[in-house]
Chains A and B, each alone.
Chain A
Amino acid sequence: MSIITNTNFLIQLLAGIFVGGVSGYLGSLMLSRKMTIVVDPLSHLALPGIALALILQKDVSVGAFLFLFFGTILIWFLEQKTKLPTETIIAILFSTTLASTFLFLSKEEIEEAIFGDISKMGLWEGIITILICFFIFFLIKNIYSKLTLILVSEDLAKSEGINVKKIQFLYLFAIALMVALAVKFVGGLLIAGLVSLPPASARNLTKNLKSYKIFSILIGLSAVFLGIFLAKFYHLPIGSLIILLLFLIFLASLIFKR
């Protein structure tokens, strides 16, 4: 029972619910190929940021975000300017950042960076995490319709006067923020799973956009919620548990596929 009365654990749980839910919400817009390709390298770009934060004993989210922010700009810029295939840019960024990560870190730290660790999260950190989740949620809510239209057809969106580049940039910014928060829960390597598994399962369960969004949020938050509990009781890496739970939900969704 001591677990339940532990304030830190409660705030971790609450923050986890928000991070999981908003990840699912954000991810529901990511099923187009172009967007999925972006989040993977972004989360990998977070790794050297996490590494640096661990070495300097700063908050890993801050380190991750700073690297991500510049990484986002870099990817966005390269996508617009370069003639290289996106996959090539990603391969370069990914291998370089991963190489630097392993130079920076001790074995324990590598484990934390890769699989996540929320045991150190305190009250204020939790509150800030929740506030940022709110911010991301409303940012996404604001651009959801426009981004949906862009995903249907960029030309159609442009002819409606939508500034496609601006909306895409805002979305990437939201992804960067989300990844920075999520690294504590699932680590730098598994974030793609946290954002892509909930909507993938939700898509199997519904045929309309509204319930697709809701399912995606619910699946994300329940997996993180359960994952935090299981990690606490069985002393297993939290990131692995969350992703495996999400995968189980995905398997279950295949059975109920409509």
Chain B
Amino acid sequence: METLLTVQNLNISLEGEKIICDLSFEAKRGEIITILGPNGAGKTVLLKTLVGIFPYKGKIEWKKGIKVGYVPQRVPFVKDFPITVGEFFKLKTKDDQEIKKILQFFGFDENFLNKNLGEISSGQYQRVLIAWTLISNPDVLFFDEPTSGVDISSQKSIYQFLEKLKNEKNLTILLVTHDLNVVFKFSDYVICLNKCPICQGKPKEVITQESLSKIYGQEIMFYEHYHQH
């Protein structure tokens, strides 16, 4: 598998506060990497830095010509002005065919384009955002807590889409999540983070009761949860 992203000794400080220290990892084509950690662990900052929003020290090296898509965490519903789903896609591409194609992939019909972006369900909105990001055919997709604020029935389908994406488009996916189910079921590689990396590797090998309590700083009751898998 070719390596698309190499991160070495990454250090990120924002306004004098250290957010990420000495992180190194690689992302290969078709791999799903999950980033696990408590609130304030720097997960979101890490993603934003990798897509070029924040400054950093160390090495972030992308393979040449790699396109990256980013779905931020909890994009608020657009309530301030009217905009249809179709018009939202038009902000990204003028190509109507491309828009139709991607909508089909996500199981929306053409009428959906005329719906108001502020009036669709949270699950639909999340899928629209993913579809929007996929329009430019990225090789790598960054995904910040894709299911936060999404109702439970939609959560499942979002992960099913992620798998479909991985299988059909051979996408590399970097995923921030709290959900251990997702880590075990979907990811090839996990990075446990609490400012500094605590463990990284194959989920089954590195996620243990011990590493979990290290990440979350206490004896947490993930034991049963873990044994379901």
Contact = CB atoms under 8 A, between A and B. Distances in A.
Nearest to B92: A160
B53 A159 contact: yes
Given A155-B48, A155-B53, A159-B52, A209 B84 contact: yes
B65 to A, nearest CB: 15
Interface in A146-166: 148-149, 151-153, 155-156, 158-161
A210 B114 CA distance: 12
A220 interface: no
A145 B53 contact: no
A208 B70 contact: no
Contact of B70 (A32, A155, A203, A207): A155
Nearest to B114: A208
Given A145-B91, A152-B78, A207-B116, A159 B83 contact: no
Contacts of A203: 81-82
A159 B92 CA distance: 12
B118 to A, nearest CB: 9
A171 B114 CA distance: 28
Contact of A208 (B69, B75, B80, B82): B82
B88 interface: yes
B84 to A, nearest CB: 5
Interface residues of B, number: 25
Interface residues of A, number: 25
A31 B81 CA distance: 7
B81 A208 contact: no
A159 B71 CA distance: 9
A156 to B, nearest CB: 6
A153 B80 contact: no
B92 to A, nearest CB: 8
Contacts of B116: 207-208
A203 B69 CA distance: 31
A4 to B, nearest CB: 38
Contacts of B142: 159
Interface string A13-35: 00000000000000011011100
Given A152-B78, A207-B116, A159 B51 contact: yes
B72 interface: yes
A209 B48 contact: no
B188 interface: no
B53 A148 contact: no
A209 B87 contact: yes
Contacts of B76: 153
B82 A207 contact: yes
A206 B116 CA distance: 10
6 contacts: A148-B83, A148-B91, A151-B78, A152-B75, A199-B81, A210-B87
Interface of B: 48, 51-53, 68-70, 72, 75-76, 78, 80-84, 87-88, 90-92, 114, 116, 129, 142
Given A152-B91, A156-B72, 20 more contacts: A29-B81, A32-B80, A145-B90, A148-B81, A148-B83, A148-B91, A151-B80, A155-B75, A158-B53, A159-B53, A159-B142, A203-B81, A207-B82, A208-B83, A208-B84, A208-B87, A209-B81, A209-B82, A209-B84, A210-B87
